[in-house]
Chains A and B, each alone.
Chain A
Amino acid sequence: MNLKNLLQENRSAIVNQWFETVVGTYKEETRGPLRRQGAPFTNPVGFNTQQGLEGLFDGLLKGMLPSDTSRFLDGIVRIRAVQDFAPSEALRFILQLKTVVRNKLGEKAQEPALAGELVFFESSVDDLALFAFDLYMQCRETIYDIKAKEARSMTFRLLQKAKLTTENQE
């Protein structure tokens, strides 16, 4: 059996374990509510995380580029970029997929026949992590941009009043 089939067979167990890894980054009292299923609007962090991880895992299995699964990654990273995590903590979960996969595959992960595929899979996870870093930075930059825009919007009328603005001449 090749790696892809093995991962497909273990999809649910791997994604669940991966989800638990992310849930584990939150405080104990918060984990229960995050696990609540079927609540896309009242448990949006748990829901977006679950959906995102499933989408990312499927994308990796299909050999999709990180840019093709960016909406799934965005669903998670955009949340973690504003939560109380250091950047490394916010994105660690992506690299942890490698550990989750190896744990789930157990001894099979050591089989030489799978070595090549496993290296390829793990390097795809690394690529995803690098892509996530770009996304994370975009999120943080958006925050700073929003702050600057708010300040500008608050002072625009004052500048206009003081005749310190210029209009584009057509």
Chain B
Amino acid sequence: MAKLPKPEELSKIDLTPPKTDWMDTPVVFKEGMFCHGSKPKSLEIVGFPNPREWRPADADWKLPENWKEILLEGIADRLKKYRSFRLFMDICVRCGACADKCHFFIGTGDPKNMPVLRAELIRSVYRKEFTTAGKIFGRMAGARELTVDVLKEWWYYFYQCTECRRCSVFCPYGIDQAEITMIGRELLNLLGLNIEWIAGPVSNCYMKGNHLGLEPHTIVGNLEYMLDDIETVTGKRIKPTFNRKGAEILFVTPSGDLFADPGTYTAMGYMMLFEELGLDYTWSTYASEGGNFGFFTSNEMAKRLNSKIYAEAKRLGVKWILGGECGHMWRVLSQYMDTWNGPADFLEVPKSPITGTVFENAKSMKMVHVAEFTADLIKNNKLKLDPKRNDHLKVTWHDSCNVARGMGMLEEPRYVLKNVVNNFVEMPEDTIREKTFCCGSGTGLNASEDMDLRMKGGFPRANAVKFVADHYGVNMLANVCAIDRATLKALMEYWVPSVGVCGLHELVANALIMKGEKERTTDLRGEPLPGIEAKEEKA
């Protein structure tokens, strides 16, 4: 008979997982942690390689026979093309400063989400194939063979990075993990290893001009619904124009704002503001997407999708472009568009027709972010605002990674916010401005099938929101990013259900006193304004 362990012995059983070196720890695909694989049609439309039906959880990914050759050539090409990539492959000393700065590492507790280790997934192959030390000493030099399992590990973890760049703030060498992930995803795309939540919007954008595949009549129809709601709230009927040649300004925003709440309230806010200003602007049903999911596949694809913006501005003969509230859109437009598809010498340096302010910062790319535009209006006393209409809200501000950390737009939205609400509370210092925590769903990871990943990645952000909700009664999380508006809603529902999510211009429009408007009794969401119920009871 087998010896039965005594209770004292049983209590000494070590329940901790065994330690294995990261190279020997195989990747396990867990439901809720990854998105569906790209569909063949989505890849075919834009000419991406290896379109076929495949499922990430399957053993056989239906790779081309010479996949390894393709990938190694891909790495070699990019090492030649991007000096930053070569530098980032060589200079990391593995000091670990970045290790616990990633929201995915914090939330998942998975060491392979430490930025240093995520980069090592590629670096180890780089060493083996492209460095003498790696070729000779192999594993001793941190090098390893490129195998199908390694490839799967890349796929799993490069789609667990939102390119938020928080780690790079802390890296003493300034290694930008976002760029490593970008290259990682580019390489995976050489083999048709994309996710449908990105590939679908990319093909939609290529064919229809926007991620959601909204056709012109649908765009107009959706905005009509919003105009009905605006009329109900303000008594004013707004008539925006579409594809109007000769307008002074082309307005471009993420298509998400046209489609689902709470983004739609932000879109209503834009239209109310522009109406009040009498702005000579037009929407475009062709350049109907400011966002760019191509940016999450390859540099080349991002460039192709972006080209419609300047092309449409030229076709319509506008003077400059105004951009709506978006995060990655702004990074793509502000940092890449001019290089990719410029020079936009057919446009003028943006000048606010209301204040006369010339936006020197946009001298070359000729595009202004609506938060800058509105901040300038308020600074020059051009808006009549009643922040009391937002008194039912205690608002905190989420700095969206791309606009805040990426582009340094920290003060403009705060300035606007402080002028349109009376109750504003900052989240703790380590979680805002350049150290802001990501929503956990950026770079095309805002699908539903990876909800567990999103909840984990967004936890550090939600944790800071919970703090201001518990201590200061905050009930609204405002931001200038369409992906944030769509995904923080879900994040709050899980972690801090008492907090809602809104865009900046929803709050602007609530506070905006419009000429000839009726007395407002509700905000844009149809919720009674503060004091209205008491007033009605009295009557």
Contacts and interface: CB of A to CB of B under 8 A. Distances in A.
Nearest to A99: B11
Interface string B452-470: 1001100110011001000
Contact of B455 (A26, A29, A82, A156): A82
B114 interface: yes
Interface string A18-55: 00010011111110011010001111110010000000
Contact of B456 (A36, A82, A154): A82
A161 B463 contact: no
B69 interface: no
A48 B451 contact: no
Interface size for chain A: under 10, 10 to 19, 20 to 34, or 35 or more residues? 35 or more
A41 B428 contact: yes
A44 B463 contact: yes
A138 to B, nearest CB: 11
A150 B448 contact: yes
A29 B111 contact: yes
A160 B225 CA distance: 9
B106 A43 contact: yes
B221 interface: yes
Nearest to B456: A82
Contact of B114 (A21, A29, A99): A29
B99 interface: yes
Interface in A61-104: 78-79, 82-84, 92, 96, 99, 102-103
Which DSSP category, helix, strand, loop or mixed, fits chain B's interface? Answer: helix
Interface stretch (B12-20, B298-306, B475-483): B12-20
B495 interface: yes
Interface residues of B, number: 47
A34 B33 CA distance: 21
A93 to B, nearest CB: 9
B16 A154 contact: no
B70 interface: no
B218 interface: yes
A157 B114 contact: no
Which DSSP category, helix, strand, loop or mixed, fits chain A's interface? Answer: helix
B406 interface: no
A142 interface: yes
B430 interface: yes
A143 B451 contact: yes
Interface string B74-118: 000000000000000000000000011100011111110010010
B261 interface: yes
A143 B494 contact: yes
Contact of B467 (A40, A43, A102, A139): A40
B81 to A, nearest CB: 33
B431 interface: yes
Interface string B31-48: 011000000000000000
A95 B452 CA distance: 25
A60 B183 CA distance: 52
Given A29-B114, A82-B456, A45 B467 contact: no
A147 interface: yes
A142 B493 contact: yes
A33 B467 contact: no
B221 A161 contact: yes
A147 B451 contact: yes
Given A146-B493, A161-B218, A30 B11 contact: no
Contact of A30 (B15, B111, B259, B455): B111
Given A78-B495, A153-B260, 13 more contacts: A30-B111, A33-B105, A40-B463, A41-B463, A44-B106, A45-B459, A82-B32, A82-B455, A82-B456, A82-B459, A143-B32, A147-B449, A157-B259
Interface of A: 21, 24-30, 33-34, 36, 40-45, 48, 78-79, 82-84, 92, 96, 99, 102-103, 139, 142-143, 145-147, 149-151, 153-154, 156-157, 160-161
